[in-house]
């Protein structure tokens, strides 16, 4: 079992009730970090909190909210101050935006994608980076997508917002590096979560083939030959957050089993 020296640190994770977000929460709790979990459904958050507390001697708080809400970072900040005093680790994560051609998305859909997948990252980071600077230690992780590097027409909303997050991360990583704060974007290709299953079902329906066939077809494009498990993706993130990852900043790391083909 690796020791990543996170005992007593506090991590705030958005989109924490399912999939990748919950996987990261569990992994950080395994390393001793206290948690503030944020998602939209109280019932799901309570279940997650229970599961984590069953296996780990850490403190877990929850906050119900949508990251599109511009006041959410302020609410999270007051919980952090009251319950933990400080936030050491910020993981910006949320569900992905809709599929479809850019010609068909109305302005409302573009703006929703912007607030959910781009501006929420800026807003949470602005709220928590100043205290990290004062403590000379911090970790900011943004979960995006391999689409940031290799866009596709149907995923234009995701690709556009994710590339923006990579640029934002790189820009601020330079400003924050002298304060012991690293900022990295981790880009999944395929991680076996509920969202992935849903996307595969949509493509299967469109191509009129069954789910298993579609799944196999998707996996064939990944050189490693399979999707990532939630745990192995979360382990990459936990390493970046750990003391051992302290020299890594400004990355847009494709944790995608070799899916993306470009060298940069």
> At closest approach, how far in Å is the CB of 147 from ligand NAD?
7
| Residue 45 to residues 50, 69, 91, 236, Cα–Cα distance (Å) | 9, 18, 16, 23
> 3-state DSSP: the chain helix, strand, coil percent, rounded to 5?
50, 15, 35
Q: Which is nearer to ligand NAD, 14 or 34 (CB)?
A: 14
Count CA atoms within 13 Å of residue 112 on its CB side.
11
Q: Which is nearer to ligand NAD, 81 or 198 (CB)?
A: 198
Contacts with 64 (C-beta within 8 Å, 6 or more apart), sequence order: 38, 39, 40, 41, 42, 45
> At closest approach, how far in Å is the CB of 159 from ligand NAD?
10
> At closest approach, how far in Å is the CB of 170 from ligand NAD?
19
Q: Which is nearer to ligand NAD, 172 or 228 (CB)?
A: 228
Interhelix angle for 156-176 vs 107-114, to 10°? 30
Q: Where are the beta strands (DSSP E) in 52-105?
A: 60-64, 89-92
| C-alpha–C-alpha distance, residues 166 and 144, integer Å | 8
Q: Which is nearer to ligand NAD, 121 or 175 (CB)?
A: 121
> At closest approach, how far in Å is the CB of 44 from ligand NAD?
7
Residue 196 in 3-state DSSP? helix
Site residues (CB under 6 A) for ligand NAD?
Answer: 14-21, 39-40, 66-68, 93-96, 116, 143, 145, 188, 190-191, 193-196
Q: Which is nearer to ligand NAD, 190 or 245 (CB)?
A: 190
Nearest residue to the partner ligand NAD, using Cβ: 19
> At closest approach, how far in Å is the CB of 91 from ligand NAD?
11
């Amino acid at each position: 079992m690796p020791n990543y020296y996170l005992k007593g640190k506090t991590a705030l994770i958005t989109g924490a009730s399912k999939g990748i977000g919950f996987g990261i929460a569990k992994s950080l709790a395994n390393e001793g970090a206290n948690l503030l979990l944020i998602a939209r459904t109280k019932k799901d958050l309570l279940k997650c909190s229970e599961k984590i507390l069953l296996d780990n001697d850490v403190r877990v708080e929850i906050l119900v909210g949508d990251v599109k809400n511009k006041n959410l970072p302020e609410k999270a900040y007051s919980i952090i101050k009251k319950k933990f005093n400080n936030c050491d680790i910020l993981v910006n994560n949320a569900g992905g935006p809709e599929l479809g051609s850019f010609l068909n998305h109305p302005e409302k859909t573009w703006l929703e994608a912007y607030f959910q997948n781009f501006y929420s990252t800026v807003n949470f980071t602005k709220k928590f980076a100043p205290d990290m600077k004062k403590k000379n230690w911090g970790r900011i992780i943004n979960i995006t997508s391999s689409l940031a590097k290799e866009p596709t027409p149907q995923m234009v909303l995701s690709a556009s917002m994710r590339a923006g997050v990579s640029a934002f991360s790189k820009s601020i990583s330079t400003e924050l590096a002298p304060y012991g704060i690293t900022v990295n974007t981790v880009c999944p290709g395929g991680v076996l979560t509920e969202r992935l299953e849903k996307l595969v079902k949509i493509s299967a329906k469109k191509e009129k083939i069954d789910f298993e066939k579609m799944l196999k077809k998707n996996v064939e494009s990944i050189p490693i030959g399979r999707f990532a498990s939630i745990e192995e993706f979360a382990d990459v993130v936990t390493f970046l957050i750990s003391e051992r990852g302290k020299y890594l900043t400004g990355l847009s790391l494709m944790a995608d089993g070799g899916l993306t083909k470009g060298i940069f």
